[in-house]
Amino acid sequence: MLAELKGLNEECGVFGIWGHPDAAKITYYGLHSLQHRGQEGAGIVVSNGGRLQVLKGEGLVTEVFNEGKIEKLHGKSAIGHVRYATAGGGGIENVQPFLFNSQNGSLALAHNGNIVNANALKHQLEAQGSIFQTSSDTEVLAHLIKRSGYLSLNDQLKNALTMLKGAYAFLLMTETEMMVALDPNGLRPLSIGQIGDAYCVASETCAFDIIGAEFVRDVMPGELIIIDDRGLHSEPFALSTSSAICTMEYVYFSRPDSNIHGINVHTARKSMGKQLAMEAQIDADVVTGVPDSSISAAIGYAESAGIPYELGLIKNRYVGRTFIQPSQSLREQGVKMKLAPVRGVVEGKRVIMVDDSIVRGTTSRRIVTMLREAGAKEVHVCISSPPMKNPCFYGIDTSTHEELIASKHSVEEIREMIGADSLTFLSVDGMLKAIGRPQDGNQCGQCLACFTGNYPTEIYPDTVLPHEKELVR
Ligand code: SF4
């Protein structure tokens, strides 16, 4: 499904490289491959060993950078960031990486995730005299580092990280080293690659394929990795860890050509489609998927059910980028612009429409109506994940409880609201089985909070949802 239609948005993507003569250009390509994780802003900070230089702006990677601008970013190391559009706009001051200059040197910082105790820490830091330049929770880390009594940056960082709760995949860079840190639950994906002698880090492995880097390994929960001219050095910083990688990365967010903890995203989605077909058992003439993220699941569904897969919905790729629409009616107009039914495929047919998730239900209703208007005899909606009943506090803008249709309505009520002939959601067990991550005792190693309500971390009374971040200030 198209992120901007669904109301389900990834927060960001990060990329970094240490020790390559074309660091800025490689980071540009890396960020371009992570563009699906955020379209509001992009930035790159380069280090030439003596000075950090930043270039960032609002918009897509191709809008922020051009050949001339990249050429001016000299250095053999870089970190970059793509940021997703928040409802409040955000502004240039919230585009990352952040660059902090002090007498002791510079520090650049890029973050993917959401710190659930950011508000509490912010109040504490402000009471101690810190002045925040942005409304981003990311800046909290910089202030914690600065206020730590430790002497080395390594100790300052480790101490600061232990105070953060929630989801974070951090890239930090100084003139002499790059530091990579993942929260103790490993909620967001983060991988290490290598290109020649240079190490690179990315939110998704698809970034390595684009630049011709070899995948080395995933960053582990609670791990701090330091990369400098001597190589790569790893040390744990968390007292205890418990893997809880975001399940929605497999279902919807990550690119199909990425691998998360050794599992290819397309393959996982296809298996979810197969499992869904076994659970749904619906008699129909054609299976179609909502482009782009539901195509893999639809192919799996069709294969398993023995019903032909057809291109029943087409995405118009030439519609310009639109930010999240503020009102329901505008959102509906957006759907019309971006998706079109293929009459020749669906007319007179019993159609199974596979989608990866239902957030507010508005888009599903529009698509069902669209298929009926194009002559579909029956429309059966099959969702390749369980009902999303709870908001995400870990960097995914899944809306509030009030906005999530499944938090207030039964499956039958939702079916009626979206106007489908039938509605089937994949079960939690079926989804886990399809993704196929090895179990660790009773632990599945995945976060399922938006489906089950069991959050892997403490949630604070003043935890801020991603789309509410602008209110914090
Ligand atoms: S709550 Fe859902 S979207 Fe958020 S990290 Fe967990 S699985 Fe992912």
How much is the CA Rg of the chain, to the nearest whole Å? 22
Q: What is the DSSP string of 152-202?
A: SHHHHHHHHHTT--EEEEEEEE-SS-EEEEE-TT--S--EEEEETTEEEEE
Our CA angle for 159, 164, 167, nearest 5°, is 130
- 34 CA to centre of ligand 1 in angstroms: 19
- 292 CA to centre of ligand 1 in angstroms: 20
Which residue numbers in the chain have pLDDT < 70?
1-10, 85-90, 318-337, 399, 441-442, 461-473
- 366 CA to centre of ligand 1 in angstroms: 25
Tell me which residues have their CB closer than 6 angstroms to ligand 1. Answer: 187, 246-248, 392, 394, 396, 398, 447-450
Q: List Cβ neighbours of 455 (8 Å cut-off, separation of 6 or more).
A: 393, 447, 449
Distance CA 294, CA 354 (A): 6
* Closest listed residue to residue 175, CA positions, set 225, 101, 82: 101
Q: List Cβ neighbours of 320 (8 Å cut-off, separation of 6 or more).
A: none
State both tokens at 189.
């994906």
Q: Whose CA is nearest to atom 4 of ligand 1?
A: 392
Distance CA 273, CA 308 (A): 14
Catalytic-role residue among 12, 206, 382, 447: 12
Q: CA dist 119 to 99, 164, 239, 252, 273, Å?
A: 21, 11, 23, 29, 40
Measure CA 23 to chain center: 24
8 A C-beta contact, residue 118 and residue 158 = no
CA-188 nearest atom, ligand 1 = 5
- 450 CA to centre of ligand 1 in angstroms: 5
CA-187 nearest atom, ligand 1 = 5
pLDDT of residue 10: 57
Q: Whose CA is nearest to atom 2 of ligand 1?
A: 450
The continuous run of DSSP H or E covering 296 comes out as helix 295-305
CA-451 nearest atom, ligand 1 = 2
pLDDT of residue 215: 98
Distance CA 341, CA 315 (A): 9
pLDDT of residue 399: 66
The strand pairing partners of 225, in sequence order, are: 180, 234
* Count of C-beta atoms within a 10 Å radius of residue 13: 30
- Compute the half-sphere exposure of residue 407: CA atoms within 13 Å on the CB side of its CA: 19
pLDDT of residue 466: 56
8 A C-beta contact, residue 25 and residue 124 = no
Instruction: Assess whether 12 carries a catalytic annotation.
Output: yes
Distance CA 109, CA 168 (A): 12
Mutate to test the pocket of ligand 1, among 254, 396, 431, 432 (most ligand atoms within 8 A of CB): 396
Mutate to test the pocket of ligand 1, among 246, 399, 451 (most ligand atoms within 8 A of CB): 246
CA-446 nearest atom, ligand 1 = 7
8 A C-beta contact, residue 79 and residue 97 = yes
The strand pairing partners of 277, in sequence order, are: none
Measure CA 331 to chain center: 21
pLDDT of residue 93: 84
Distance CA 190, CA 205 (A): 8
Whole-prediction pTM: 0.92
- 466 CA to centre of ligand 1 in angstroms: 12
- 144 CA to centre of ligand 1 in angstroms: 26
Q: CA dist 342 to 125, 150, 221, 334, 347, Å?
A: 56, 63, 45, 18, 8
State both tokens at 171.
């890239």
* Count of C-beta atoms within a 10 Å radius of residue 85: 22
| SS3 category, 339 | strand
Q: CA dist 64 to 55, 200, 253, 332, Å?
A: 8, 22, 23, 29
Distance CA 301, CA 281 (A): 10
State both tokens at 64.
């922020």
| SS3 category, 424 | strand
* Count of C-beta atoms within a 10 Å radius of residue 273: 30
